[in-house]
Structure 1
Amino acid sequence: MTSHLFPSPKRFIISRTDGIGDVLLTLPLAGALKQHDPDCTIAMLGRSYTEPLVRACEHVDVVLNWDEVKNRPLKEQAEWLADYDVDTIIHVFPRKEIAAAARRARIPRRIGTSHRTYHWWTCNRLAHFSRKTSDLHESQLNLRLLEPLGFETQYPLDQIPSLYGLTTLAPLSPEFSRLIDPQRFNLILHPKSKGSAKEWGVENFARLISALPRDRFKLFITGSAAEGMVVGPTLLQPFPHVFDLTGKMELDQLIAFIAAADGLLACSTGPLHLAAALSKAAVGLYSSRRPLHPGRWAPLGVNVRVIEDGIAEPYQGRLQIPVERVINTIVSNLGI
């Protein structure tokens, strides 16, 4: 129930300043707020890196870039936040400096998890749950932060994809759109994760490339320029029919290219979650070990397949998932 001390919340900041997948799994929170009140205003506080993703979401009205003020004094950060005249900030990804700036800006409702000690003095609305011990998906945990507002927070996983709102994508550049082959299945392989997930290994991707029939699949490798240098000798140089897109796209073009392609294969990374959110065939390779397991981090969408290693205990090296299982999933389960 809304406190009598403040009018009903109408202007929100959702603060999430980490990676692509994390920000994407927070967008349903914006969708839920719009579902509750279509006339509310939502600002998303993030980083330069993820700004194109936030701009692709129809639920976000204002994009705020923390990188613009992160090195300024606390007083100036607070003034910057105060200029947006919001009544509620939701700290989805806790950062002490942002929480302090929001308090100093006198934002009326400041929501954060009770499991961050500094939230006890920087926030005045606390959500009492632990991500570490929860069985909920990351997107469901994000929605739990609406509890202090008295809003609905119990969303089944099959309802969450409808809350993404990725409808305002940038147009795909002709240099990339002409690569899409309407006669074949355009499959993006994203072999690296920037250390955010347990990886399958470039050697397994190479075996997969060798096995997929060229007349049915057109293959692309995505990733950063640095990742391209790592995977190139194994995945690109021996396979001239595979298109190298590493380091060639800004995020807005990567999102648009995923939307134009047919499917994507990756471990637990931002591009995998993007493919799922865009209703593409998304095949995710996962460890069964907590907290990396798909129960917490699975991609959510209408055409998702998750392949787990089935090993609950920690182990060294790459994901132990047989190449044959992945090939079978791609060729058979996706109906290609």
Structure 2
Amino acid sequence: MSMNVLIVRPDGIGDVLLSLPVATQLRRLAPGATIGFLTSPTVAPLLDRHPDVDYVRTIRFTDPFKELRLAFSQGVEAAIFLKPFRRLMWAAWVAGVPIRVATRYRWYSLLANRHIYEHRSEFSKHESEYNVEMLKGLGLSPQPISPPVLTLTEAERVAGAFRWSGLPSPRVVVHPGGISARRWRLEHYRDLVVTLTDKGYGVVLTGSDQERTEFGKELCGSTALPSGVADHMGHLSMRELMSLIANAHVVVSGATGPAHLAAALGIPTVTLFDPRRNNLPVRWKPLGTGVLLRPDVPTCDKCIGKACPYWDCLDRFTVAQVTAAITKVLSQPSPLTVLHI
């Protein structure tokens, strides 16, 4: 197959990472294809120098429609909408992309001309598996999933190692932020950092500038950070975050992008998942090694706040339990284990 194929997934870090198996399988099943990614400017750098991605285009959802249409020009012959964003599907239709692959169950699915009949809302398999199923729209037969892998240059790895200079080992990244997932209480993250440094671990805090503004003062309080902690919240580019994580021994976070980054870089994770149905591990777990913690409460369709008798679901994880999970991961890395606590 000699075709210019654009994979469309312009949202979060984890979403894009779990889309990479589509590019990898497309490279294997159609070696003559040119493979592009349409994603957000924030996430695009993680695709730099990836062997299965030939080019990257970026858009923002707030861009004028003219810009969206241009994203589908310049020789795009097939667009695979891993998530059916209506304006983007409309833009591809207006741009005259010959093959437009999407799921079938929305009214604007008519803007696609090749359909995959699969309800992701059933949460019966992993997001990466749902994604590669979309290759059927190109007449290809999806293969078993290989977890996504990210690439760094030697210079980037050296620069990432330098950010750990002066910190003891083992090295733990603590990422207290996140957008789509519920969060462990900030006091718990603060106490976890203190506990880890008391044990002699080196700790680096990561997060966006927005998360630094939201969490930084509360997390660190009015006192100085303990010895053995470096605060890089709001100071790292995407590639710098990747290089920092690549030099860690474990990454601790909620169900958010850095957990998937760590998995794709071969670094074990300790991940705190909330009990919402749309955050089930069967669909969204990192594809790597480590421990996934999930509160032992009923699965809920959506968070209704303090009216829920399990409102404290994530805060049922104690600092001691999370510390024990970190110790377990450091002492005996193994395929991802799900623990209900």
| C-alpha contact (below 8 Å) 1:17/1:93 kept by paired residues | no
Task: Give the Cα–Cα distance (whole angstroms) in 2 for the partners of residues 300 and 139 of structure 1.
Answer: 9
CA distance, structure 2, for counterparts of residue 126 and residue 170 of structure 1:
42
Query: 2:80 aligns to what?
Result: 90
Paired-residue identity, %: 30
1:294 to 267, 276, 281: 281
Partner of 1:186: 171
What is the aligned partner in structure 1 of residue 232 from structure 2? Answer: 245
User: Separation in 1 of the partners of 2:90 and 2:290?
Assistant: 39
Provide the secondary structure at the position in 1 that maps to 2:156: coil
Amino acid at match of 2:156: L
Q: Mapping of 1:1-336 within 5 angstroms?
A: 8=1, 10-67=3-60, 70-73=63-66, 77-83=68-74, 85-120=75-110, 122-153=111-142, 155=144, 159-161=145-147, 164-169=148-153, 171-172=155-156, 177-181=161-165, 184-194=169-179, 196-214=180-198, 216-237=200-221, 238=223, 239-241=225-227, 242-301=229-288, 303-314=289-300, 315-317=310-312, 319=314, 320-335=316-331
* TM-fit CA distance, 1:318: 5.7
Report SS of the residue matched to 1:296: helix
Change (3 A) 1:91 1:68: closer
CA contact (8 A) 1:112 1:119 kept: yes
Report the secondary structure of 1:140's partner residue: helix
Decide whether the 8 Å contact of 2:290 with 2:329 is kept in 1.
Answer: no
Query: Within 2, Cα distance between the matches of 1:169 and 1:21?
Result: 21
User: Is the contact between residue 159 and residue 243 of structure 2 (CA under 8 Å) also seen in structure 1?
Assistant: no
- Unaligned 5+ runs, structure 2: 301-309, 333-341
- Deviations 1:71-128, CA, capped at 9 Å, x for gaps: 143xx64355221x122110112221211121222222110011222122x1110001
Question: Quick check: 1:198–1:318 contact (8 Å CA) kept in 2?
Answer: no
TM-score by length of 1: 0.86
The structural deviation recorded for 1:236 is: 2.8
Using a 3 Å threshold, how does the CA distance of structure 1 residues 9 and 223 change in structure 2: closer, same or farther? same
Change (3 A) 1:36 1:176: closer
Aligned to 1:3: none
Amino acid at match of 1:244: D
CA–CA distance in structure 2, aligned partners of residues 18 and 77 of structure 1:
15
Q: Is residue 80–residue 101 contact of structure 2 (8 Å, CA) maintained in 1?
A: yes
Shift of 1:217: 1.1
Q: Which runs of 5+ in 1 are unaligned?
A: 1-7
Closer, same or farther in 2 for the Cα pair 1:207/1:72, shift >3 Å?
same
What amino acid does structure 2 have at the position aligned with 1:324?
A
Instruction: Letter of the 2:273 partner, please give it.
Output: Y
Label 1:334 to 1:173 Cα distance change in 2 as closer, same or farther (>3 A): closer
SS of equivalent residue, structure 2 residue 42: coil
The AA in structure 2 aligned to 1:87 is: E
- Secondary structure of 1:192's aligned partner: coil
- What is the CA–CA distance in structure 2 between the aligned matches of 1:170 and 1:135, rounded to whole Å? 39
Q: Within 1, Cα distance between the matches of 2:157 and 2:285?
A: 30
